[in-house]
Amino acid sequence: MTETMLMKAVQAVEVGGTFVVSQIPVPVPGPGQVRVKVHACGVCAGENIARMGMLGVTYPRVPGHEVAGEIDSVGAEVTTWKPGDRVGVGWHGGSCFNCEYCRQGDFTNCIDRMIVGASYDGGYAEYMVVPQDALARIPNVLSFAEAAPLMCAGITTFNALRHSGARPGDTVAIHGVGGLGHLAVQFANKMGFRTVAVSRGRAKEALARKLGADEYIDSTEGSAGEALARLGGATVVLSTVGSSAAQADLTLGLKPNGRLVFVATDHQPLGVSPDLLVFGRRSIAGWYSGNAKDSEETMAFAALKGVRAMIETYPLEDAEEVFLNMGKAKFRSVLTI
């Protein structure tokens, strides 16, 4: 395969524009890089970064940061990966290894971190080139379509829960039973938590219980936080729904020393009384994704314990339509190449 060969890709070409199907050159890996033949790529709201020209995106740009495929070729200085390896590529697209945070091993907060589909071309294409440190191994028991959503929705919820401070037997509430939440409920159950699902209405109650929820709270029936308190309170509330009002209400359901952790936001101030935090030593924290090793451990846990994303698959050419209808999916859309 040479530089002159072309591949099919979906690109963002201007701020606020639609995703366009194009023919572009197949990329060639440089030193320390690998080329991945993409088999599946999840569709995530994070693709708005490429669509809206955020985080210094330059055009044209191929979006897509829930990538699953196999290594096609490797560049010079790559010694731990080889063609044929099954790999995933997530949001975190590489670290500088030199900044204060990298030297502490906190690669996710690297000052010069790269974001897949923003800093360089992502997985809405037949091939992509990535730094070798951005790769995560995919267990053989996971199909490419199953692995793709775990590279963002999966790692975010799994990583947030395992760092939340909750222990097996503790009550953990999952706010939202959607693209992130349906995975969070499964992870919480498999980690041994008493799992409480919180959602609007009763439509998702049966599914939530099937996924592993021990209790269910309908947030339209009154204060979800007060309902959670009546169940004994939660050690951790993981909010996967961007609603500051709902998140503030859920702090009422935290036990002393409990923590609200949110992975989604509506970009509005969080109206929580400081008294609630001071008396009871409750806390509020956010969680941000993870690095390639975290992705690898997410997939290994999912493979071991049977955690799977509920997915709908579509051809690459339908990327624009799938992105626009993302909220109608149950629960993660995946482009297959």
Asked if 232 and 256 count as a contact pair (C-beta separation under 8 A), the reply is no
pLDDT tens digits for 222-238? 999 999 999 999 999 99
The segment(s) of the chain belonging to CATH 3.40.50.720 are 155-286
d(CA 35, CA 42): 18
Instruction: Compute the half-sphere exposure of residue 308: CA atoms within 13 Å on the CB side of its CA.
Output: 11
pLDDT tens digits for 289-333? 999 999 999 999 999 999 999 999 999 999 999 999 988 888 999
- Pick one of 3.40.50.300, 3.60.20.10, 3.90.180.10, 3.40.50.620 as the CATH number of 6-152+290-336: 3.90.180.10
Q: ∠293-77-57 over CA atoms, to 5°?
A: 60
Q: Decide if pLDDT at 1 tops 60.
A: no
Asked if 87 and 138 count as a contact pair (C-beta separation under 8 A), the reply is yes
Q: What is the pLDDT of residue 317?
A: 97
Give the residues across from 7 on adjacent strands: 24
Q: What is the mean pLDDT of residues 256-273?
A: 96
Domain spanning 155-286: which superfamily?
A: NAD(P)-binding Rossmann-like Domain (3.40.50.720)
Q: ∠179-182-185 over CA atoms, to 5°?
A: 145
pLDDT tens digits for 156-196? 999 999 999 999 999 999 999 999 999 999 999 999 999 99
Q: What is the mean pLDDT of the chain?
A: 96
According to DSSP, the β-strands at 6-12 and 19-25 are antiparallel
Q: Decide if pLDDT at 3 tops 90.
A: no
User: What pTM did the predictor assign?
Assistant: 0.96
The segment(s) of the chain belonging to CATH 3.90.180.10 are 6-152+290-336
Q: What is the pLDDT of residue 262?
A: 96
CA 4 to chain centroid, in Å, comes to 34
Q: What is the DSSP letter of 37?
A: E
